[in-house]
Amino acid sequence: MMNVKDYLNDGANWQAQMVLAYVRAYATYAVEKSYDDKIREYRINIHVGRYENCREQGYVFSIDAISHSKYVQKNYAVYEHRNSDALCVLISTKKTFGNTPSINEMWADKPKNTSKYDVDKTFSCGNALACGEFIIDDIRGTIEDWLKE
């Protein structure tokens, strides 16, 4: 056994770890609830990797789908903003083909004059459940949109 404060300590803060636990628990559900006959044409994957930006540590969830003629990807970086303690979500459609998007790739879709406060979604400190629900709901909606194309 080990001290609980050291267990699963990968550098991400507690809020990002809570979102990871939620998304991990519901990721399969998010994909399966989007299934219909057309989904058999796609191979859909949900991956997770680390998001690292100095003191802002968290995770990147990536969903991708591969069909006979198309590859699509959407990424969600989740981390605690070190100035406000808010839980932040950055969304990117940068294709990294199975690799975890870097910080530069996560910000690549944003306008040039974007500041570190211009994230796609924020949640107040401690509201990790709502953040996890947002990501799962957006993943489901994204899959449904991909299937319509």
Residues in the chain predicted with pLDDT less than 70, given as ranges, are: 32-42
Which of 64, 93, 66, 92 lies closest to 78 in space, CA to CA? 92
pLDDT of residue 2: 80
pLDDT of residue 33: 59
pLDDT of residue 139: 92
pLDDT of residue 38: 57
What is the distance between the alpha carbons of residues 80 and 112, in angstroms, rounded to a whole number? 23
Whether residue 92 contacts residue 109, with contact meaning beta carbons closer than 8 Å, is answered with yes
pTM summary value: 0.90
> What sign for the dihedral angle of Cα 23, 27, 33, 38?
positive
Which of 68, 49, 67 lies closest to 10 in space, CA to CA? 49
Structure-block tokens of residue 56: 């802002």
Query: Which strand (E) or helix (H) includes residue 66?
Result: strand 56-66
pLDDT of residue 113: 83
Burial (CB < 10 A; 0-12, 13-18, 19+), residue 118, is exposed
Q: Which residues contact 133 (CB under 8 A, 6 or more apart)?
A: 22
Do β-strands 121-123 and 87-92 pair in parallel, antiparallel, or remain unpaired? antiparallel
